[in-house]
Amino acid sequence: MNVAAIEVERAYRACEHATREAAANFYYGIRLLPRPKRQAISAVYAFARRVDDVGDELAPGADQAERLARLARERELVAAVERDQVDDVDDAVAVALVHARRSFELPVDAMSMLIDGVELDVRGTRYDTFDELVVYCRDVAGSIGRLCLPIFCGGGGPVAATADALADDLGVAMQLTNILRDVREDRERGRLYLPGEDLEQFGCSELEQAPPERAAELIRFEAARAQQWFARGLRLTEQLDARSSSCVLAMTGIYRDILERILRDPLEVMHRRIHLSVWEKAWVAARCLASAEAAAAVRPLGLVRSAGGAGGAG
């Protein structure tokens, strides 16, 4: 089904609004991009938000079976995107996502990975080992990195596997930061993402009752892990144009600032959710734009593509 240009534009506006309202941390980075890329990434985040909301649903009557059924409907949307077809022109996310996929050749399998990860949330999955947790992080966050990468690179062909891996690493780093930031809220919801082997190693099997010094050691240990994933994944920015690089730096910069605060006071996450103020987020975005432009001025442009891929305009 072909959709009129005016409907596509309306769908993108709805996705940008949803991203601004529900994913403020990311919006500060996204707004640094040229309009076509900003619209496409907003479609990705609007889809991710909708899927993620199923995992976070706490309303009475929203039982597991109903939530799994809602995820199944999102899988139907992914199938429609793969067919390059809009089944419901009133679904702004579907309209925008199909158009974004046409424009930037988004990897549909990454959309399915996201749904796989949220399904783990719905089923209340716990993680005994860090390797198991990484699989979850790759599903719910690495998938977003993989969807954003072809947009950063402008479409026109598949991106290199090495770039996919770096984008995936950044997703894992941000999700590990999320897990630490939300420890208190997740426990109130009956969830615990920290690996069982780490809880046992630091004597924190019952996290709320653990001695403060042991809980602090555990959180500091996990935060240091997240830093290592950031250090590896941020090599991706060396291969992007200045505005795409600044977007990545701004989105990750907010999380890295949160991570620094956790390292300074690990026990704070046991009592409150750490966040940056509006002006702090804006400052991070401005700082990252300046640093990315300075870096781009002293190195050749290197959009990451696999052999034979064509560069795209943005």
pLDDT single digits (tens) 131-140? 999 999 999 9
- What's the pLDDT at 283? 66
pLDDT single digits (tens) 150-205? 999 987 666 778 899 999 999 999 999 999 999 988 988 888 999 999 999 999 98
> Which two structure tokens, joined as six digits, stand for 171?
């997703």
Say if residue 145's pLDDT is above 80.
yes
Q: Average pLDDT of 122-147?
A: 95
Average pLDDT of the chain to the nearest whole number: 86
Residues in contact with 193: Cβ distance below 8 Å, sequence separation at least 6, in sequence order: 127, 133, 136, 179, 186
Q: Are 183 and 269 in contact, with CB atoms under 8 Å apart?
A: yes
pLDDT single digits (tens) 205-227? 888 889 999 999 999 999 999 99
- What's the pLDDT at 194? 96
Domains and CATH numbers, the chain: 5-297 (1.10.600.10)
Q: Is 87 or 278 the better-scoring residue by pLDDT?
A: 87
Q: Average pLDDT of 288-308?
A: 52
Q: Is 241 or 171 the better-scoring residue by pLDDT?
A: 171
- What's the pLDDT at 31? 83
Say if residue 275's pLDDT is above 80.
no
Within 10 Å of residue 72's Cβ, how many Cβ atoms?
11
Report which secondary-structure segment, H or E, holds 120: helix 108-122
Q: How many CA atoms does the CB half-sphere of 102 hold within 13 Å?
A: 14
Q: Average pLDDT of 269-274?
A: 87
- What's the pLDDT at 314? 31
Question: Binning pLDDT at 50, 70 and 90, where does residue 30 land?
Answer: confident
> Which two structure tokens, joined as six digits, stand for 102?
């046409």
Say if residue 300's pLDDT is above 60.
no
Q: Is 39 or 5 the better-scoring residue by pLDDT?
A: 39
CA distance 175 to 224: 14
Place of tokens 């479409």: 155
Q: Is 64 or 114 the better-scoring residue by pLDDT?
A: 114
- What's the pLDDT at 36? 95
Nearest 5°: CA angle at 109, between 133 and 181? 35
Question: Binning pLDDT at 50, 70 and 90, where does residue 82 land?
Answer: very high
pLDDT above 70 coverage of the chain, percent: 83
pLDDT single digits (tens) 278-295? 667 666 666 666 665 565
Q: Are 296 and 241 in contact, with CB atoms under 8 Å apart?
A: yes
